[in-house]
């Protein structure tokens, strides 16, 4: 039997971090479709993020991407967030948009380019000091396109050196989250292509270094929940970049492509004790076609639904079936939870939190969408081509 009061309490305590770049215009390498009313600055991105938090009650932090969210005064930006009931979350570095990084950043063969990349990462830690952010999220576009282009092992050594230098700069409460991605933009080798490579580096660095799992960064068919279970067991799961994919790094709304996979991931999180402050639940999405704020609200709700279902798994019955070797019964316990319609439960949870039971409808009624279209002209691009 599951304890419904405990499930509700966990749902009320949940925190999903939204990414600043999801509020801005985005697109593909073919076209960025500008939407009306999108934020013109990091300050306005926070204004929109505050709407997501106001209607869901579970999106209290916002990730920044540097330099997309470059401002003069980061402490003032943190204050702007606080005044809106938010806090600034992970600081995402960007070593992929500078011409100097064409052949790599921290893995580049030229020490001068590596220095420039490390300087950027150290600047990101300075920003964390100013914003009060805990996590530095690192994703490297480094890799090669052709066999022989560079020395695979030498690149790992350069990567390890750069990471160690940045790790040494972290404060006591700060962490480094290393993100992997199996390909793109590099097509032959990628220097951090998988969880194993990220894990090996994090293990060497120490307890403040953890792996972040972006759900869109795996080859089709990869069993992501296995990776999650393993990293949790090893105490090395730092967080998630949630999104969904049909083909590659599609950055679609989480839970849109494969809600069953999201449920399976959340079940492993729940089973492994991952609903704790140690694991950051972040979105990493782009809304090229759909309106951004309601899409982010929808994404947060999708995470809540998967979480509710994962928490409803009758662990006792599941354990008994597993010990008995009853394959069908064990599978049925899991499927029962997945097939539960948790929307009434979540409506109840929201009402108990003093929120509208239907965040999307409440946002639509609020008039915010009309207000930003009227007030903002010339919205900021999420980053690509900016
Ligand atoms: C890389 C990535 C990484 C970046 C973000 C914009 O594909 O997932 O997290 O910082 O996209
Ligand atoms: Mn990501
Ligand atoms: Mn990505």
Nearest-atom number in ligand 1 for the CA of 249 is: 7
Residue 241 Cβ contacting ligand 1 at under 6 Å = yes
pLDDT of residue 117: 99
Cα gap 221→45, rounded to integer Å: 35
Q: Which ligand is nearest to the CA of 138?
A: 1
Domain ranges of the chain: 14-302
Nearest-atom number in ligand 1 for the CA of 216 is: 8
Nearest-atom number in ligand 1 for the CA of 184 is: 7
Question: Residue whose CA is closest, atom 7 of ligand 1?
Answer: 249
The model's pLDDT over 272-283, given as tens digits with 9 standing for 90+, comes to 999 999 999 999
Sign, CA dihedral 26-27-30-36, equals negative
**Alpha helix stretches (DSSP H) within 42-110:** 42-56, 74-83
pLDDT of residue 386: 42
Residue 92 Cβ contacting ligand 1 at under 6 Å = yes
Q: Which CATH number fits domain 14-302: 3.40.630.30, 3.20.20.150, 3.50.30.10, 3.30.70.100?
A: 3.20.20.150
Residue 139 Cβ contacting ligand 1 at under 6 Å = yes
Closest residue by Cα to residue 102 from 180, 186, 37:
186
pLDDT of residue 385: 42
Cα gap 368→381, rounded to integer Å: 20
Question: Residue whose CA is closest, atom 6 of ligand 1?
Answer: 284
Ligand 1 center from residue 58 Cα (angstroms): 23
Cα gap 358→355, rounded to integer Å: 8
Residue 251 Cβ contacting ligand 1 at under 6 Å = no
Q: What is the pLDDT along the chain (386 residues), one digit of tens a residue?
A: 689 999 999 999 999 999 999 999 999 889 999 999 999 999 999 999 999 999 999 999 999 999 999 999 999 999 999 999 999 999 999 999 999 999 999 999 999 999 999 999 999 999 999 999 999 999 999 999 999 999 999 999 999 999 999 999 999 999 999 999 999 999 999 999 999 999 999 999 999 999 999 999 999 999 999 999 999 999 999 999 999 999 999 999 999 999 999 999 999 999 999 999 999 999 999 999 999 999 999 999 999 999 999 999 999 999 999 999 999 999 999 999 999 999 999 999 999 999 999 999 999 999 999 999 999 987 666 664 44
| DSSP code per residue over 301-335 | HHHHHHHHHHHHS-HHHHHHHHHTT-HHHHHHHHH
Question: Residue whose CA is closest, atom 5 of ligand 1?
Answer: 284
Cα gap 107→96, rounded to integer Å: 12
Mutational test site, ligand 1, from 214, 216, 384, max ligand atoms within 8 Å of CB: 214
Question: Residue whose CA is closest, atom 2 of ligand 1?
Answer: 139
Residue 210 Cβ contacting ligand 1 at under 6 Å = no
Question: Residue whose CA is closest, atom 4 of ligand 1?
Answer: 139
Residue 214 Cβ contacting ligand 1 at under 6 Å = yes
C-alpha distances (whole Å) from 187 to each of 98, 141, 144, 252 are 19, 11, 7, 22
Residue 69 Cβ contacting ligand 1 at under 6 Å = no
Nearest-atom number in ligand 1 for the CA of 383 is: 6
Ligand 3 center from residue 251 Cα (angstroms): 7
Ligand 1 center from residue 284 Cα (angstroms): 7
Can you tell me the ipTM of this complex? 0.99
Cα gap 47→38, rounded to integer Å: 11
Cα gap 336→309, rounded to integer Å: 9
């Amino acid at each position: 039997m599951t304890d419904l009061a405990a499930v509700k309490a966990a749902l009320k305590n949940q925190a999903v971090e939204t990414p600043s770049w999801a509020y801005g215009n985005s697109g593909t390498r073919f076209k960025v479709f500008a939407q009306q009313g999108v934020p013109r600055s990091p300050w306005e991105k926070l204004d929109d993020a505050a709407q997501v938090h106001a209607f869901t009650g579970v999106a209290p932090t916002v990730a920044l991407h540097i330099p997309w969210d470059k401002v003069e005064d980061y402490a003032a930006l943190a204050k702007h967030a606080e005044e809106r009931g938010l806090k600034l979350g992970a600081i995402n570095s960007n070593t992929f948009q500078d011409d100097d990084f064409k052949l790599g950043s921290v893995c580049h063969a030229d020490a001068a380019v590596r220095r420039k990349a490390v300087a950027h990462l150290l600047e990101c830690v300075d920003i964390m000091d100013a914003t009060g952010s805990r996590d530095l999220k690192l994703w490297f576009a480094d890799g090669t396109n052709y066999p022989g282009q560079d020395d695979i092992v030498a690149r790992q050594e350069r990567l390890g050196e750069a990471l160690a230098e940045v790790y040494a700069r972290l404060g006591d409460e700060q962490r480094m989250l290393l993100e992997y991605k199996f390909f793109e933009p590099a097509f032959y080798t990628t220097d951090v292509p998988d969880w194993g490579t990220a894990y090996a580096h994090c293990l060497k660095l120490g307890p403040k270094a953890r792996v972040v799992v972006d759900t869109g960064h795996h080859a089709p068919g990869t069993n992501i929940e296995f990776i999650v279970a393993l990293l949790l067991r090893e105490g090395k799961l730092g967080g998630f970049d949630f999104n969904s994919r049909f083909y590659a790094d599609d950055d679609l709304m989480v839970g849109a492509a494969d809600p069953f996979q999201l449920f399976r991931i959340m079940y492993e999180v729940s089973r492994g004790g991952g609903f704790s402050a140690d694991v950051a639940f972040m979105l990493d999405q782009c809304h090229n076609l759909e309106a951004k704020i309601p899409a982010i609200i929808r994404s947060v709700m999708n995470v809540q639904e998967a979480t509710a279902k994962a928490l409803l798994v009758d662990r006792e019955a599941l354990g008994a079936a597993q010990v008995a070797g009853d394959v069908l019964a064990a599978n049925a316990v899991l499927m029962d939870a997945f097939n539960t319609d948790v929307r009434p439960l979540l409506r109840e949870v929201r009402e108990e939190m003093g929120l509208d039971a239907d965040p999307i409808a409440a946002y639509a009624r609020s008039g915010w969408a009309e207000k930003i279209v009227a007030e903002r002209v010339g919205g900021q691009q999420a980053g690509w081509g900016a």
